[in-house]
Amino acid sequence: MSGNINIVSAAAMGGACARPYAAAMTTRTTALIVGAGFGGLAVAIELRRHGVDDFVVLEKAGDVGGVWRENTYPGAGCDVPSPLYSFSFAGGTRWPRRYARQPDILDYLRRTAREEGVLGHIRFGREVASAEFDEATARWQVRTTDGEEFSAAAFVPAVGQLSRPAYPSIPGMETFAGTAFHSAEWDHDCVLEGKRVAVIGTGASAVQFVPEIQPEVARLTVFQRSAQYILPKRDHAYDRWYHAPLRAVPALQKVDRLGFWLYTEFAQACLSRWQMFTPLFSRQAARHLREKVTDPRLRAALTPDYALGCKRVLFSNDYLPALTRSNVDLVTDEISEITPQGVRTADGTLHEADVLVYGTGFAALDLLAPMKIHGLGHRPLGDVWSDGARAHLGITVPGFPNMFLMYGPNTNLGGGSVVYMLESQARYVRDAVQRLAAHPGRYLDVRPEAERAWDETVQHRLAGSVWTRCRSWYRTAHGRVVSNWPGRTLEYRRRTRAVNPGDFRIGVATDPD
């Protein structure tokens, strides 16, 4: 590098609470990971376990955890069994119940990051503003919103698909006179007791927080755009009699995990290839609805009009009963506007409210936003993805060398644990980083034909899946499924076992620094 830029190694950067550096100082590292949630930690731990210590993790918040740090709404939890929603190398024997709640998952991530020795690599309070690949040096130049600069051989965005809250576009939202917030940004200072609360959205978050707040509010009005398939949640507390044998015989942890994994592999296959089995789940959802809702009119309003699995299937034992309570109204009329007093529907009715909660999900299709990312020739990633995100193996994008995505396009699951997918991706990324470290000044640019062949295969398989049969956050406005993986997780693990050099064009820096 020329000029007055001071290059320092990642090892010299100090602890996780180091102060921001002057804009003129550049941190040099082999791998730069963005995000300290499950994905970012998976890569960091994989690198460290294989002897790669020259990496930095940038985290915009002050703690690890990702979505499990941010989503603190009442009742927040996971709908994947705890033994499977955890790293294979750190299977917890401390889970208090089969389906862990948010505080327990956050504690697990904190503990795992500490025990695996990656906390010292994390720079908290750093939000990435831009990243650009410099072909001359074969390195990514990354800048934070505070002006810090980083130079990395490998750039690993691990910000996930479900990290940025999405708000609906409803006239008058800014005029509401009461307190309004998104479920992913829960206002814990807002006292709900005795208040009239309006909830817009009935997705995975609302299914969890509605039963929690229903007993304390004076009136709860739930606005539903489409009914959801809801299955009973086979949840129960774990006691010492459950954990004792797992601690005594570690192999039993793998057996426990294997049982849940096999079931979710079956469920995932039912959504894509084995759709003849989906009536098993449909009948279970219908029976659950009949048992919990006796009012035929309410039951009709809660009956989906699309194929099971087309949208995310939800799990809850108390959401449907909550909707039957005397202080709850389910509104299915279209919302026309929000006024200072509440929510007005298309029939002209004004539903007055003191508090408005948006349970409207996340901007899953805007992957990597708001980061500004430029590849070869200063081409913006947003232009490449104008018709929807796509990447070879959901990890690499042509024209963006040495960039490796975690939880990228077409790696979400309709059934199963995304943590399993993240471990597969982390192994692939580690292999790529080791190759780059062994050959400084070179870069790996996935061939367009390799990415195109992958995408055509994935989209062809998705065309026969249930995910093409309705509108959902899995798809773009043009109908392209950009979120979900159409196969089983074991297949994906095999495909990402190692980097295939034949899939890449190997470039050489013209002016290595």
For residues 145 and 470, the model is more confident at 145
**Secondary structure (3-state) at 174:** helix
Mean pLDDT on 401-426: 95
Amino acid (1-letter code) at residue 79: D
For residues 272 and 124, the model is more confident at 124
For residues 268 and 509, the model is more confident at 509
One DSSP character per residue, 258-300 reads: HHHHHHHHHHHHHHHT-GGGHHHHHHHHHHHHHHH---HHHHH
CATH number of 6-164+363-508: 3.50.50.60
| Rounded Cα distance, 169 and 200, in Å | 12
Amino acid (1-letter code) at residue 405: L
The answer to whether 30 and 414 are in contact (CB under 8 A) is no
Share of the chain above pLDDT 70, in %: 95
Q: Which of 128, 313, 287, 291 is closest to 203 using CA atoms?
A: 313
| Rounded Cα distance, 414 and 467, in Å | 9
How would residue 426 be classed by pLDDT, with cut points 50, 70 and 90?
A: very high
Please check the confidence at residue 24 and state whether its pLDDT lies above 70.
no
The yes-or-no answer to whether 6-164+363-508 and 173-236+247-358 have a common fold is: yes
pTM of the model: 0.91
Instruction: Give the CATH class of 173-236+247-358.
Output: alpha beta
Q: What is the pLDDT of residue 244?
A: 85
| Rounded Cα distance, 198 and 362, in Å | 19
Q: 397-409, pLDDT tens digit by residue?
A: 999 999 999 999 9
Each residue of 242-276: b (16+ CB within 10 Å) or e? ebeebeeeeeebeebbeebbeebbebbbbbbeebe
Domain ranges for the chain = 6-164+363-508, 173-236+247-358
pLDDT-wise least confident of 241-245, 251-255, 454-458 = 241-245
